[in-house]
Amino acid sequence: MTRRVLTRLGTSLLVLWGAVTVSFTALHLTPGNVADVLIGSSIVTPEVRAQIIADYGLDRPLPVQYATYLGRVLRGDLGQSYQLHESVASAIGAQLGASVQLTASALVFAVVVSTTLAVLTARRARWIRGLSSGLELVGVSIPTFWTAILLLTVFSFQLGWFPAAGGDGFSGLFLPMIAVAIPITTMLTQMMRENLELILDEPFVLTARSRGMSDLGVRLKHALRHALVPAITLLGWVVGLLLGGMVAVEQIFSRQGIGQLTLAAVTGKDLPVVMGVVLITAVLYVVVNILIDLLYLVVDPRLRGAA
C-alpha cells in the first residue's frame, strides 16, 4: 500500500517536472531570439526587454536558464503575458472557472448518460442495440466543432431556445456541454455496454439470479460495478479529450475559458500563456490520476490489500 502511494507520488512529480521541461524545450526550439519569442508580436520598451532577460537569466548558460525557469515555476510564477499585459497566472485564473465548469458538467453528463444507456441496452432486443450502436458510431465519428456549429445553428439561430453567444448559467452552458460531451458519451456507452455484456455471462451473475434477484437488480447491484472498473481507467484520457474539445467549442459559442485564451495565445504567438496552460493541464492530469487511483480502491476491494 505505501509502496503504491510512493510510486504514485513519484510518477506525479515526474510528470510535472516533465511538463516543465517540455515547456522549456518548446521555448528554446522556437526559431528566433528567446526574448523576442517571449514578447511575441507585442511591442515593449527596452527596459521591459532587459527585465525579461534578467528574469529568465537569458544572458547566462542554458543549464542556469533551465534552473532559473524551474525555480520560478516552483514558486508558482508562470511568467508574464506581454500581449495581455498581465501575469500568466492571473490570465489563466480568470478563465479557469468557466472551463472547469464546462469540463466537469460534460464529464458528469457523459458518465450519467452512458451508464444509463449501457445498463438499459446491454443484452436487449437486436433493434435496440442496433439503434444504439448506430448512434454511437455517428457520435464517435462526428467532429466536435461541427457538432457545435450544428447545435448553435439549429437551437440558437433557428429555434432560439438558447443564447447564441455567451449567456449565463445553465442556458449558456447547455449547448457547449452537449457538444463537448457527445464523443465521450458515445465512446463510454459503447465500452460499458460491451463490458456489461461480457459480465452478464459471468457465473456470479447466474448465482445472483438463482437467488431470486431481478434482471435490473443484477445489472445495477452486481454487473454495473464490474463494468465501471475499465471505464475508470479511461477517465484520465477522457479528461484530456474534454480539454481538447473545449478549444473549438469555446470559440464557436463565444464562451470565456482556457480554450479561447489558448487559441488567442497560439495565433498571437503568446508563448508564455501557452506554456502556462500546458503546465496547468499537467497539474490537472496528476490530480485526476490520483482521483482515479482512489476510485479504484473504492470500487475494487482486491486492490486494497495488494502491496
State which of residues 56, 109, 174, 285 lies at the interface with other proteins (CB under 8 A). Answer: 285
DSSP class per residue in 43-74 = ---HHHHHHHHHHHTTTS-HHHHHHHHHHHHH
Rg, C-alpha atoms of the chain? 24
Map the footprint of other proteins across residues 239-278, applying CB under 8 A.
Answer: 239-241, 243-245, 247-248, 251-252, 262-263, 265-267, 269, 271, 274-275, 277-278
Map the footprint of other proteins across residues 30-89, applying CB under 8 A.
Answer: 30
Please name the amino acid found at residue 111: V
Nearest C-alpha neighbor of 144 from the set 113, 175, 117, 171: 175
Map the footprint of other proteins across residues 195-214, applying CB under 8 A.
Answer: 197, 201-204, 206-214
Cβ at position 165, least distance to other proteins in Å: 13
Map the footprint of other proteins across residues 130-149, applying CB under 8 A.
Answer: 130, 133-134, 137-138, 140-146, 149
CB 273, CB 265: distance < 8 Å: yes
What is the crossing angle of helices 88-121 and 271-299, to 10°? 40
Cβ at position 33, least distance to other proteins in Å: 14
Greatest Cα pair distance, the chain, in angstroms, is: 81
Contact window for other proteins (CB under 8 A) among 81-89, 107-115, 165-173, 234-242: 234-242
Closest to other proteins by CB, 15 vs 89, is 15
Cβ at position 290, least distance to other proteins in Å: 12
Please name the amino acid found at residue 226: H
Which triple of cell numbers denotes residue 223? 454487473
State which of residues 74, 150, 165, 294 lies at the interface with other proteins (CB under 8 A). Answer: 150
